[in-house]
Amino acid sequence: MLKILRSSSASSCIQQPRYYPIASSSSSYTHHRIKPSPPFHGVLKSFLRDKPHHKSLHRLFFCTDSSDKSGSASAVEEPESNAAAAIVPTAIKKPDDFLTVLALPLPHRPLFPGFYMPIYVKDPKLLAALVESRKRQAPYAGAFLVKDEPGSEATGSDAEKNIYELKGKDLLNRLHEVGTLAQITSIQGDQVVLIGHRRLRITEMVSEDPLTVKVDHLKDSPYNKDDDVIKATSFEVITTLRDVLKTSSLWRDHVQTYNQHIGDFNYPRLADFGAAISGSNKLQCQQVLEELDESIAKAIEEKISTEQRRYLLNEQFKAIKKELGLETDDKTALTDKFRDRIDPNKEKIPPHVLQVIEEELKKLQLLEASSSEFNVTRNYLDWLTALPWGNYSDENFDVLRAQQILDEDHYGLTDVKERILEFIAVGKLRGTSQGKIICLSGPPGVGKTSIGRSIARALNRKFYRFSVGGLSDVAEIKGHRRTYIGAMPGKMVQCLKSVGTANPLVLIDEIDKLGRGHAGDPASAMLELLDPEQNANFLDHYLDVPIDLSKVLFVCTANVIETIPGPLLDRMEIIPIAGYITDEKMHIARDYLEKNTRDACGVKPEQVDLTDAALLSLIENYCREAGVRNLQKQIEKIYRKIALHLVRQGAQNEPLSLGSESTQDATESTHDETESKETEEAEVVETNVSAAHQDSDLKDNVATEKVLIDEKNLADYVGKPVFHAERMYEQTPLGVVMGLAWTAMGGSTLYIETTQVEQGEGKGSLHLTGQLGDVMKESAQIAHTVARAILAVKDHDNPFFANSKVHLHVPAGATPKDGPSAGCTMITSLLSLAMNKHVKKDLAMTGEVTLTGRVLPIGGVKEKTIAARRSGVKTIIFPLANKRDFDELAPNVKEGLDVHFVDDYNQIFDLAFETEK
């Protein structure tokens, strides 16, 4: 029992009560007068003291059968309680009188004396016999555990059903011989509540249905209460019980109730109680029920668990191996491992770091392996010695090879490639390279992240990427303090350990989307990381020693730089990446996207023909965004459908294969009936001889059948066009002018529309619609004022603005718009309406205008130029200050455009309203 109880305590798996102390079996018991009893621990400790035990009236409920006969069911020790007759009437026979009892099968666990157990009786005859026994004032039966049937996997309700189907000797053979005399306290329907009294042993069968058996009442073996061994064993049991009861408040309540009603808590009852509350299986509990004569010496010997014995043997084994010099202890092995890491590069490790490592190694030797500080020190040394102190990868200073690698992976991106080649050239002239912080900004899908990997390959550096989008915890960058449980270094230390070199290329993605929360401001923590003057001594909170990051090349990516904090933006070199024009997208689709997608889908080049017209239509009508990510998705969709078409076509042609036996039969059946049998056999033989060649030729024929995709059937693969022509008017009407706008997705055209709503003396006003922002509303008011001033000069007799209510609208109405760059477009639209003149055809303009008519520079020149080309614009008006930006554009972007640069609106007036010849 002690072994079972200790295993339950060690695993903290306390058996939930399937049977309970008898005081809990009925609510009527709790109404009796109960004297206050000492706590359970006090009762248990009483085993170790020679004090007489006081008998209690509530021994009647327990019906113990101790050797001194003090547990008789008819004994009444305390006259102050008058509840005895209500529970055990004097007419009921004593338990000793019952030598023949009904046999109740228990499927799950045995019933221990002193506990009650509710069971469900499914046998009608057995249930009727139990009811009859209560009526005859003989409410007792024998409860016996059912043996597991060999080879049976039935459990739960199925097992109970199988038990009640057995009768007579079949049922007797399935029952354990030793059981418990149980008192029947109540019967409600098929539920019977039993109270265990004493142990029984089956001697013979009396009747079969229901099963009735003769039994012997088993008595506790006599023992010496003063025996030192028994006292020592009981002390061990009590200690174990305390540990068990600490883990479950439910059992503590049951113990208190059990203590109040148990009466003489002797050593046999202690053993029963411990086994009953343990989480042991039913066979182990049955062993406790049967083994009355188990020696105390055996119980003491088995109190050491298997885990304890294994631990003792392992420690002895380690000690023996250490004496023989076969193996060192764990601390020595760890120390040797850490020293092996630092010895090859010991001269490259900074002295202050080497000093910290030596101090931590000495500290590790003094700590116990089981202490928490030992694990903290071990993890710290593991990180500290795993970093690549002074270990650098050999860089590539070959500019031509780097240019070739960059061109292999990406088309265009000239600014980025030139900057990387400049970095390589400077490193070659100096003989060494320093770290830089570069920020690539541009719309999604233009290749900012993928170019980072290509740069690392061109420079022959290790590549590491981590995203800071939504990052709100400073510890992700600077690390956690070592005092915290589960502390780890920051991302940069993890990077150095991962790549194994001190000069990697680190790509910090989505730096414009840094978060900020209760755990600090990561943007401020990035200042030290990305500052060339500080990152040579970067301090991680976990390592707490300076780390040199001056050789690291940082490449950051962002969609917009406006959301990047100013101090952080000042530390980075910004390289803008604008969107791709149609020609660039065509090259990218042909040279990169289509080839990679075709290989990924398993389609051969000779199986598909994607025409240039189809690609052009795909770019203009489905993928107008600045990047090529959506273009890649659409090409993948096309090739997936092509792959499905080829597989279906192959499945249809498969029965025509000449290499299979079934195909031969099909071929023979199609021969003309007039052919002779000899000719058919000859053809079959010839077919068998050349089967392999013919099968190969057929596969080639199927494979070489091209799938043609052109502009006409493109919609069958990618659906209806998403975009339509941005140009709303072939010939712009009065009061309508095309402007140019910039968005995070690239450039687009923006029409300004004006119309006269009402006319009357002194009714001049301006009404604005189109979800305009505050800046754009102010720009419209300025445009209205400037237009009135210009009209007064150009046509001083025209009172249009003084007497007309004008409505200015900027489509599309569902799209929010803001910014000052539409000022010149608004003025031109108002003047067109006021002077009743059409604006020049194929003209687009952009620029901010002041109250005096000066034209100020704008942003997004390349994006706006691309949008103008896409809409078929021939003439563009830009501010004079943006001429430098336009000159930097590629020739293919500027080709075919008539661009004018102005610094005053009067110049725009002359260009927009010039007389057409």
Active site residues: 821, 864
- Separation of alpha carbons 264 and 66, rounded Å: 9
How deeply is 19 buried, as exposed, middle or buried, from its count of CB atoms within 10 A (0-12, 13-18, 19+)? buried
Strand pairing category for 115-120 and 20-21: antiparallel
Q: Per this entry, what is the length of the chain?
A: 917
Q: Which long-range contacts (CB under 8 A, 24 or more apart) does 854-857 make?
A: 854/903, 854/904, 854/905, 855/824, 855/879, 855/880, 855/902, 855/903, 855/904, 855/905, 855/907, 855/908, 856/820, 856/881, 857/881, 857/882
Q: Is 447 annotated as a binding residue?
A: yes
Give the distance between the most distant pair of CA atoms in the chain: 134
Q: Is 444 annotated as a binding residue?
A: yes
What is the DSSP code (8-state) at residue 16?
A: P
- Separation of alpha carbons 755 and 339, rounded Å: 83
Q: Is 448 annotated as a binding residue?
A: yes
**How is residue 59 written in tokens?**
């021994």
**How is residue 849 written in tokens?**
């205008």
Give residue for tokens 């500019």.
399
Q: Where are the alpha helices (DSSP H) in 410-521?
A: 414-430, 448-459, 475-478, 491-499
Instruction: Please give the distance of CA 386 from its chain centroid, rounded to a whole number.
Output: 28
Closest CA to 265 of 90, 481, 557, 58: 58
At 772, which amino acid appears? L
Contact 816, 837 (CB under 8 A): no
Q: Is 449 annotated as a binding residue?
A: yes
- Separation of alpha carbons 862 and 579, rounded Å: 8
Element (H, E) at 374: helix 372-386
Phi-psi region of 580 (alpha: psi -120 to 50; beta: other; left: phi over 0): beta
**In sequence order, what are the residues at sequence separation of 6 or more whose Cβ sits closer than 8 angstroms to the Cβ of residue 147?**
174, 175, 176
Using the Cα atoms of residue 564, residue 569, residue 573 and residue 574 in order, give the sign of their dihedral.
Answer: positive
Using the Cα atoms of residue 486, residue 490, residue 491 and residue 494 in order, give the sign of their dihedral.
Answer: negative
What is the DSSP code (8-state) at residue 190?
A: T
Contact 717, 638 (CB under 8 A): yes
Q: Is 872 annotated as a binding residue?
A: no
Give, in order, the Cα–Cα distances in Å from 879 to each of 863, 867, 870, 883, 894.
15, 17, 21, 7, 16
Backbone angles phi, psi at 643, to 5 degrees: -60, -40
| Distance linking the first and last C-alpha atoms of the chain | 115
At 820, which amino acid appears? P
Closest CA to 628 of 593, 596, 597: 593
**In sequence order, what are the residues at sequence separation of 6 or more whose Cβ sits closer than 8 angstroms to the Cβ of residue 236?**
2, 300, 303
DSSP letters of 717-764? HH-S-S---S---SS--TTEEEEEEEETTEEEEEEEEEEEEEE-TT--
Q: Is 443 annotated as a binding residue?
A: yes
Closest CA to 449 of 504, 423, 410, 422: 410
Contact 398, 427 (CB under 8 A): no
User: Binding site: what residues are annotated?
Assistant: 442-449
User: Binding site for ATP: what residues are annotated?
Assistant: 442-449
